[in-house]
Amino acid sequence: MLEFDSNNSADTFTTANSAFTNQSELQQIRANYCKEVKGIAEFVKQLIAGRTEEEITEEEIERIARQAHSLRREIGIKYKELTPQQKLDAIYVRNLKKYGDSLGPTIEYLRTIGKTWLQIIESASRPNPGDINDILREG
């Protein structure tokens, strides 16, 4: 399993699926999630630091893509555990409908729709801004 040292802490939200009293707590969870996801880009930069494109093999790019994707899913699981059940259920329904997997797109899904390993690396460090934010804002 990959280790990713985040400066973000969701430790203040220690009870999984606890009742949230206001929207600002959900927004803070989402902000922490987005910050950690964006941090995957730094993780990838560290893996390839000091090397040229020519020095990185296709197999290594695939391995890095798989690591970045796995880390993204781990971050997603971490924050889903902090999400109120009603919102979590809506997120799972959305993901199942859109990707066929409750946690979001799998590597297999991304490859099937034509994503390259480099595109997978890039997308692993980009939070999905649209409909998840809408789900979290809904009453």
11 inside domain: no
87 inside domain: yes
Q: Give the per-residue pLDDT at 110.
A: 97
2 inside domain: no
| Closest C-alpha to 38, from 70, 64, 75 | 75
15 inside domain: no
Q: How far apart are CA 83 and CA 21, in angstroms?
A: 12
* Termini Cα distance of the chain: 36
Say whether 125 sits in a helix, a strand or coil. Answer: coil
Calculate the CA 125 to chain-centre distance: 7
Neighbour count for residue 120 (Cβ, 10 Å)? 21
Residue span of the structural domain in which 72 resides: 23-137
7 inside domain: no
Q: What's the domain count of the chain?
A: 1
Q: Give the per-residue pLDDT at 7.
A: 43
Q: Give the per-residue pLDDT at 44.
A: 96
124 inside domain: yes
- Residues comprising the chain, all counted: 139
5 inside domain: no
Given the structure tokens 């803070």, which residue do they identify? 28
pTM of the prediction? 0.78
Q: Give the per-residue pLDDT at 117.
A: 97
Q: Give the per-residue pLDDT at 129.
A: 66
Ordered per-residue pLDDT tens for the chain, 139 residues: 333 334 443 333 334 444 444 678 888 888 999 999 999 999 999 999 998 888 999 999 999 999 999 999 999 999 999 988 988 999 999 999 999 999 999 999 999 999 999 999 999 999 876 666 666 776 5
89 inside domain: yes
